[in-house]
Amino acid sequence: MSAVDAKIVRTMCPMNCHPTFCGMQVEVEGGRLKSLSGDKDNPDSAGFLCVRGRATAEIFGNSKRLLYPQIRDDRRTDTWRRVSWDEALDFMAKRMRSAGPEAVGLWAGHGGFTAGSAMTVQLMQRFANMYGCQNWHPAMVCWGLGGFGVGLSGALKVNTKEDMAENSRMIVLWGANIASQPNTARYIVAARRRGAKVVAIDVRRTEAAAQSDEALLIRPGSDAALALAVMHVIVTEKLYDAAFVEAHTVGFEELSSHVLPFTPAWAATQTGLEEGQIASFARAYASTRPAMILLGGSSMHKSANGWNAARAISCLPALTGNFGIAGGGLGPRHGAHSATLRNLNAGMARPPGNYVPDQMPDIAKALSDGRLKVLLLLGTNMLSSFADAGQISHGLDKTDLVVCVDLFMNETARRFADVVLPGTAWLEELGFKVTNTHLYLMERALEREGETRPIHEILKSLAESVGVADFFPWASMEEVIDAILNDATTGHATVGSLRAAGGFLPLNVSAIAYADRKFDSPSGKIEFSSPQAARVGLPPLPVHSDNQASPYPLSLSFGRTLTHFHAFYDEGQALPSLAKHNVAPQLLISPVDAEARQVANGDAIRIYNERGEFAAKACVTGDVKPGVVWMRDGWVGLNHLTSGGAVLSGDALSLFHFSVGQSDYGARVEIARRQASP
């Protein structure tokens, strides 16, 4: 094999484990992927690559991969016919013209962001602006509600994991399971070796608990109650930093009165913790400086009370003077980006029209009402990612055209797609990713398999087919990336400068958020009392909402594990290394709840409520408390149990530049043993 035939390419893992992406090195020989491993020189991951990243080698040469455009003439069948790209695009364009732009919707998921999210999101928005169709920001299905909560306080930025490892004396992993950002674990370990105390707060005993000195297991949706009680202790025992509060916050007097009823005894009834545990944690947090809180990514924000949790928790570093110092404040979380990326659509807006808001329940209603006739799904399994999947199914069934762009078939495509288009994998296109500290180039390493195409080419071709001129005025994606990266925080980096630097560059950002004490709020201070919230009809002070009464006694919660990532790769089933770890759904249930229902470990069970039911196996464990059951997300059918109700509405949806229109994923359920078939 000649040197020309073999090469080593530096890139990044295609998984979107915000905010700590992992580096990869791939070995290509004879035009084929020979090996894939962690990049030891990557300053963020230092060679770490979890099973999800290693499994991506199985995408290539996979018999299940979509390689050609296909059309199905009857959704009731599984009969697909291979077509050319021209025929597929013409088929789509005719349906789009018939429906009209406002009846066409664009929605992308994590699968559309494997080579970087900024390009897909911005080009989708550009297409929607120029064509006049519906388009929704993908943050709503992930971290948007958490961002809304911290945004009301003015604390959108975070300190880095490196700062945490070097300086934090206390680390609170509040709903932050390291399965979501696994390479953060070594920084937590380093801090702990240095003597830092680590506390994990979650609804189950997670992987993060193994790296913790103390684990506080609380009821789902009670995070805000715990934070309010911590504030009560800090205020009433005068443990707050008076100088910081005076100089850098607003609304302290109102907050001081507001938190008086929220005693540890009250919070004990809400969270399931003991009164003494709550008071002890509050005193330890207030007296240990610097202390850093790592907020959970998306799972803890998926209930109706989720944004209240982020709102209340983000007040704690301000009370204790932990913002703007090394080792303090808030640590890495989903959606907290240090770099500023240029918006290619600045100054561009959609023509006036009747647009469906960035709100999941409104999208579901528009589908059910028949208002949306054509839906283009880019790297997403909508039935897996949207709450109240029963309503989504009803709506998808009424559409005239559903198009799915992906690497593999998924449940939404199997049941409702009329057209499937084969997307490229990350090694087949040029891209970039950004962590809190570095910018990384993702070079194209392989030729495309079959007739696969990247999303930007699909949108470009579709724009031409429906008569949208000048959608893609750039000569190449390299020019697009150069334009997006043109900012002082990236050092005005380009693809060329990244190549010259070996594939990555440090960002021009501080490791310490808000070192200048200029916060992201209208007042420039941390706002305990938020005029923004009041203006859109929300409580100006942090609150906790009690769970509504339900005839179903168990609170269902869910999140990630180390062996899956939402619904990627057909719920992980298309890649053997992941499929063997995800054979069938398992529900974690406490021994107390299992015994009360005569359920043994490994029993086949049904999980049910007023919306539907779901089959699983019981995993009886002390990792969850009585009254709480837990399952990893992404299983087909799981969201038939979740609420789907609106959490925010009206002007609140457009308060920030990111989407906050997530549904309530809360679910109260009951379980029973499944009877064997006769």
Q: How confident is the model at residue 567 (pLDDT cuts 50, 70, 90)?
A: confident
Question: Looking up tokens 């975070």, which residue turns up?
Answer: 158
pLDDT score at 332: 87
pLDDT of residue 480: 97
- CB proximity list for 261: less than 8 A, separation 6 or greater: none
Cβ(614)–Cβ(584) below 8 Å: no
Class of domain 144-334+516-535: alpha beta
Residue 488: its pLDDT value, please? Answer: 96
What is the greatest pairwise CA distance in the chain? 75
Q: Which of 68-82, 137-151, 322-336, 460-474 is predicted with the least confidence, judged by mean pLDDT?
A: 137-151
CA atoms within 13 A on the CB side of 467: 6
What is the pLDDT, as a whole number, of residue 115? 83
Confidence class for position 3, pLDDT limits 50, 70, 90: low
d(CA 639, CA 604): 19
* Out of 52-61, 89-98, 536-545, 561-570, least confident range: 561-570
| Residue 678 confidence (pLDDT) | 52
Q: Tell me, what's the pLDDT at 17?
A: 78
The predicted structure's pLDDT at residue 15: 87
DSSP 8-state symbol, 272: S
Q: Are 56 and 11 in contact (CB under 8 A)?
A: no
User: Is the pLDDT score of 195 beyond 90?
Assistant: yes
pLDDT at 570 over 80: yes
pLDDT digits (tens, 9 = 90+) for 203-261: 999 888 887 999 999 999 999 999 999 999 999 999 999 999 999 999 999 999 999 99
Residue percentage of the chain with pLDDT more than 90 = 77
Q: Which of 379, 292, 302, 384 is nearest to 331 (CA)?
A: 292
Contact predicate 173/210, CB 8 Å: no
- State the fold for domain 554-673: Barwin-like endoglucanases (2.40.40)
Strand order in the sheet with 291-295: 214-217, 197-202, 170-174, 291-295
DSSP H helices, 259-397, are: 264-271, 275-287, 306-313, 316-319, 360-368, 382-385, 389-397
Provide the pLDDT for residue 143.
79
Identify which of 621, 468, 358 has the alpha carbon closest to the alpha carbon of residue 128. Answer: 468
Ranges in the chain annotated CATH 3.40.50.740: 70-142+356-428+446-487
Angle between helices 455-465 and 85-99 (to 10 degrees): 60
Q: What is the pLDDT of residue 602?
A: 96
Per-residue confidence (pLDDT) for residue 1, from 0 to 100: 42
Mean pLDDT of the region 12-35: 90
At residue 333, does pLDDT exceed 90? no
pLDDT tens per residue across span 262-318: 999 999 999 999 999 999 999 999 999 999 999 987 667 777 778 899 999 999 999
pLDDT of 413 over the 80 cut: yes
Query: Element (H or E) spanning 554, and its range?
Result: strand 554-559
Res 175 pLDDT > 60: yes
- Give the residue, 579 or 452, on which the prediction is more confident: 452
Which residue stretches of 399-485 are H helix? Answer: 411-416, 455-465, 477-484
- The residue that leads in pLDDT, 116 or 326, is 326
Q: How confident is the model at residue 4 (pLDDT cuts 50, 70, 90)?
A: low
- Between CA 459 and CA 466 the distance in angstroms is 11
User: 345-356, pLDDT tens digit by residue?
Assistant: 988 989 999 999
Report the SS3 class of residue 395: helix
User: Do 484 and 341 form a contact (C-beta atoms < 8 A)?
Assistant: yes
Name the segment(s) of the chain with CATH classification 3.40.228.10: 144-334+516-535
Query: Within the chain, which residue ranges are assigned CATH 2.40.40.20?
Result: 554-673
pLDDT, one tens digit per residue, over 518-550 is 999 999 999 999 999 999 999 999 999 877 789
Mean pLDDT of 661-670: 88
Q: Which helix (H) or strand (E) holds 146?
A: helix 144-153
Q: What does DSSP assign to residue 249?
A: E
d(CA 85, CA 78): 20
What is the pLDDT at residue 2? Answer: 53
Are 643 and 614 in contact, with CB atoms under 8 Å apart? no
pTM for this structure? 0.94
Average the pLDDT over 625-649 and give the result.
90
Average pLDDT, the chain: 92
**Token pair listed for 41:** 């020189």
Helix, strand, or coil (residue 362) = helix
Q: Determine phi and psi for 539, rounding to 5 degrees.
A: -60, 130
Q: Fold for domain 70-142+356-428+446-487?
A: Rossmann fold (3.40.50)
pLDDT tens-digit map of 146-160: 889 999 999 999 999
